[in-house]
Amino acid sequence: MSAVPPPTNQQERSISEQAHRWVTRLAGGAAGSDDLNALRLWLDIDPLHQAAFEEARTTWQLTESLADDFAVPVTTANVVAFGRASRRRGLVAGLAALAACFLFAAIFDDDLRVVSEADFRTGVGEVREVVLADGSRVTLNTDSAIAVDFRSGERLIGLLRGEAYFDVKPDPMRPFRVAALGGATSAVGTAFAVREDGMDVSVAVSEGTVRVASPAVATNSSNGILLKAGQFGGYRESAAPALNGTVDQSRVAAWRNGRIVFDGRSFEDAIKELDRYLPGRILLAGDARRDRPVSAVFSVDAVDGALDALAETQGLNVLRITDYLIILR
């Protein structure tokens, strides 16, 4: 009998994410009999599921038991005032509270929307390429999702979350549009990346030309701005689109080749970027020059090492509370 191969890191992360979502649903009181039956089946599939569920349940119980400690937030002054043991307990309490907020409030609701609407999506740390019905190719970055709606007069893609790179098959009779945060990026045949982070949408073009329209002008395809190969721009819901500068075309969506490229980005933005490749959240709590520029290239397969390296440049310690909560201080 051949041996069963061990699970990959990506598989383990996916199982852990599913387990936390199950615990969230049970704790929120929204689970019905069908949900409980589905949970039993999920637990019976693999012992790894059972272990992940127990870990998630333990995390939830920890945050519940520390609830009384959450009234006063942990500050730098609190930490300095107490001894090492008290400092550790106070920090863990505060971090557990933050973990609860992140894991058991925002994530689950957002995932329900994405799961219900998405045609294609990726987990944290996953990159996936899909070929659409027209032959266009879409590569989804970590924790991203799209909805596909091909109509007679247009090819519409909804970017529900994250980032995607589009290599569009030319079809002048059916423009290719990527909608995000109420705006749209339109092309006939080109290659470009679109990213939304909840407040902003950024677009970078590696081939051809695209038209970018914010919500204020998206209803009129003749409005907006044109971005050519080697340019990047973007928009907010409340503002007109803008050309933000130029970019090395070979670095547009460098993550497709397994690289995370920082070319003068602020330290704070670099940490936020690494956060996208890890489950949970990274919190920047220590004294740091948040606007300090960072220029570096890291592998998407070595994000933990990249985080350690960036923290060291600022003299910060990396405290890993759980797989879902990391704090720099």
Do 245 and 262 belong to one domain?
A: no
Residues 276 and 244 both lie in one domain: no
Residue 4 lies in a domain: no
174 and 238 housed in the same domain: yes
CATH number at residue 284: 3.55.50.30
Burial of 170 (0-12, 13-18, 19+ CB in 10 A): middle
Domain boundary among 93, 117, 141: 117
pLDDT above 60 for 71? no
Single residue among 87, 117, 147 that ends a domain in this structure: 117
Amino acid at 139: T
Does residue 91 register a pLDDT over 50? no
Residue 114: φ, ψ to 5°: -65, -45
Residues 133 and 244 in one domain: yes
- Answer yes or no: is 97 within a domain: yes
Q: Half-sphere exposure (CA, 13 Å, Cβ side) for 213?
A: 18
pLDDT digits 0-9 by tens, 102-154: 444 444 445 667 777 899 999 889 999 999 999 999 999 999 999 999 988 89
Within-domain flag for 205: yes
CA distance 67 to 89: 13
133's tokens: 């019905």
Q: Is residue 2 part of a domain?
A: no
pLDDT value at residue 264: 86
Tell me which of 297 and 152 has the higher pLDDT.
297
**What is the dihedral sign for C-alpha 181, 215, 270, 101?**
negative
pLDDT at 30 over 50: yes
Question: Based on the structure, what is the number of domains in the chain?
Answer: 3
- Which of the four pLDDT bands, split at 50, 70 and 90, describes residue 13? low
Counts of helices then strands in the chain (DSSP H, E): 8, 18
Residues 282-287 have a mean pLDDT of: 82
Q: Has residue 97 got a pLDDT over 80?
A: no
- 188-232 pLDDT per residue, tens: 779 999 999 888 999 999 999 999 998 865 545 557 899 999 999
Q: Which residues pair with 106 in a beta bridge?
A: none
Q: What is the pTM of this model?
A: 0.68
- Rounded distance between C-alpha atoms, residue 139 and residue 123, angstroms: 13
* 104 & 31 share domain: yes
Q: What is the pLDDT of residues 271-283, one digit of tens each?
A: 999 999 998 889 8
* DSSP letter for each residue of 145-213: EEEEEE-SS-EEEEEEEEEEEEEPPP-TTS-EEEEETTEEEEESS-EEEEEE-SSEEEEEEEESEEEEE
Q: Does residue 23 fall inside a structural domain?
A: yes
Residues 173 and 286 placed together within one structural domain of the fold: no
CATH number where 247 lies: 2.60.120.1440
Q: Which of 117, 140, 175 is the last residue in one of the domains?
A: 117
Flag whether pLDDT at 74 surpasses 50.
no
140 in the same domain as 221: yes
What is the band of 49 on the pLDDT scale with cuts at 50, 70, 90? confident
**Domain ranges, residue 276:** 258-328
Predicted confidence (pLDDT) at residue 247 exceeds the cutoff of 50: yes
Q: Is residue 166 part of a domain?
A: yes
Are 266 and 295 in a shared domain? Answer: yes
Same domain assignment for residues 172 and 188: yes
d(CA 65, CA 79): 21
Statement to judge: residues 59 and 152 lie in one domain: no
